[in-house]
Amino acid sequence: MGFKVILTPLAVEDLRGIVEFIATDNSKRALSFGLELVDKALGLGEWPNLGRKVPEFNDETVREVIHESYRIVYKVYAETKVVRVARFWHAARGQPNIPSKTE
């Protein structure tokens, strides 16, 4: 049985900003890229430990997968079988700001 994947409000805000930014040049690509990010995040339900530990944090449960230039940062709650996607973060922006509470 897979894990439940939850996109936090901050992750949804990130995603909206990414799609809006890309849409200024190519609306069709903006939509398809947004869907690619969501699909990659939802795939974590089957493979929650797929990503590496986020180097900036000393916590095995805070992980990331990379999609093109974007980091999908998430926290694994093994005991409740939940993956909470905290951020969709462009690598050029440096260290992602992850709220201490991602509930």
Which pLDDT score, from 0 to 100, does residue 1 have?
A: 57
Q: Could you give the CA distance from residue 46 to residue 17 in angstroms, rounded to a whole number?
A: 27
Asked whether the beta carbons of 65 and 54 are under 8 A apart, the reply is: no
Average pLDDT, rounded, for the chain:
91
**Options 3.10.290.20, 3.40.1010.10, 3.40.50.720, 3.30.2310.20; which CATH number does 4-92 get?**
3.30.2310.20
> Is it the case that residue 98 has pLDDT exceeding 90?
no
Which H or E run includes 65? strand 62-67
- Largest Cα separation within the chain, whole Å, is 43
Which H or E run includes 30? helix 27-42
Length of the chain: 103
Which pLDDT score, from 0 to 100, does residue 102 have?
A: 47
pTM, full prediction: 0.89
- Least confident residue range of 1-5, 12-16, 33-37, 93-97: 93-97
